Amino acid sequence: MSDKPILLVVACALVDADRRVLIAQRPQGKQLAGLWEFPGGKLEPGETPEDALIRELEEELGVSTRTACLAPVTFASHTYESFHLLMPLYACRKWQGNPEPREHAALKWVRPQALRDYPMPPADEPLIAALCDLL
């Protein structure tokens, strides 16, 4: 049992033609600053997970995509100090626009096997194996 609220966050691995994945570095001043994460964020009221992800990709990276281009990969379920994170991870191979770091400190295209070289939030570590299998 846990009395911590469950926080639903959606995240996305953009995958390019070379099977590299886009990761984004959390900016200074935020929780987990400096760590590399998958773009995404919390749902707003009334949004489906896919709606939220499409909005976040536009806000964070300036890219546009659609629900049909979002494929579920796996999910993270991880207890942080003040909440329990439930985070579906989608893969997206088709989008419009060139990703730019609108809200992150930096972006990087990384081969899935190299993701372990980048410090990520603890919730993300189990996701790497699923991406390596997929890609």
Ligand X SMILES: Nc1nc2c([nH]c(=O)n2[C@@H]2O[C@H](COP(=O)(O)OP(=O)(O)OP(=O)(O)O)[C@@H](O)[C@H]2O)c(=O)[nH]1
Interacting residue ranges for ligand X, rule: CB under 6 A: 9, 11, 30-32, 37-38, 40-42, 85, 121, 123-124
* Least gap, CB of 79 to ligand X (angstroms): 11
* Least gap, CB of 65 to ligand X (angstroms): 16
Nearer to ligand X, 69 or 128 (CB): 128
* Least gap, CB of 42 to ligand X (angstroms): 4
Q: Give the residue ranges of DSSP H helices in the chain.
A: 49-61, 125-134
Round to whole Å and give the CA distance between 107 and 39.
10
3-state DSSP assignment of residue 116: helix
Asked whether 133 and 101 are in contact (CB, 8 A), the reply is: no
Nearer to ligand X, 41 or 101 (CB): 41
